[in-house]
A and B are shown apart, each in its own frame.
Chain A
Amino acid sequence: SQTIHQWPATLVQPVGSPLSLECTVEGTSNPNLYWYRQAAGRGLQLLFYSVGIGQISSEVPQNLSASRPQDRQFILSSKKLLLSDSGFYLCAWRFPGTGHNEQFFGPGTRLTVL
């Protein structure tokens, strides 16, 4: 069976500091990967998605970036955090191709920028 991991679970960072959130998927190959942000009491905002190693699509221009150095690893980064980067970050995956359209979510990372 497949599992998805995110770490850290909770993070408190000062404004202007760097960020690195990691997501890994086990039990499948070549998954499509996604990063979402959820502000308090709000819906999900898609930030980035990837269909393969080194292939990143950005949905929202901002000071965040994403990378996929390995097939099942997806990293969300920032060089300098802003207060507005606070939120709950969710990583998700799905099987590639047609016929497998639902996404499966990780446990999330709660980021607080002070």
Chain B
Amino acid sequence: AQTVTQSQPEMSVQEAETVTLSCTYDTSESDYYLFWYKQPPSRQMILVIRQEAYKQQNATENRFSVNFQKAAKSFSLKISDSQLGDAAMYFCAYRSASLRDDKIIFGKGTRLHILP
């Protein structure tokens, strides 16, 4: 079975600085998708970024980028120029590309604090 591990329960970063959140996963499949979701205090889950496993290029969305290392099964999220609004719980997630497996597996999350 696939698993997703986020080893950092909490992190803090100074406003305007850069922070990297770690995520590792375990799977025997070669085709899958990886996601980072953000859950602010409102608890609304918001998709931050998505990566297809067949793409070697790392995904980027404005100040958010990922470092996808397929062989190492690592998928870290880098937030540049951190802003107060980035304070949230961040979840790494995995989904198989197989239509027979219609589930997203979430890590336990990393709570990110932004220090003014």
Contact = CB atoms under 8 A, between A and B. Distances in A.
A46 B103 contact: yes
B25 interface: no
Interface of A, helix, strand, loop or mixed by DSSP: strand
A32 B102 contact: yes
Nearest to A50: B102
B4 to A, nearest CB: 9
A92 B35 CA distance: 15
A43 B107 contact: yes
B113 interface: no
Given A43-B109, A46-B103, A98-B97, 8 more contacts: A42-B109, A43-B91, A51-B102, A92-B45, A101-B97, A102-B50, A105-B45, A105-B46
A26 interface: no
B55 to A, nearest CB: 13
Contacts of B42: 107
Contact of A102 (B47, B102, B106, B108): B47
A44 B91 contact: yes
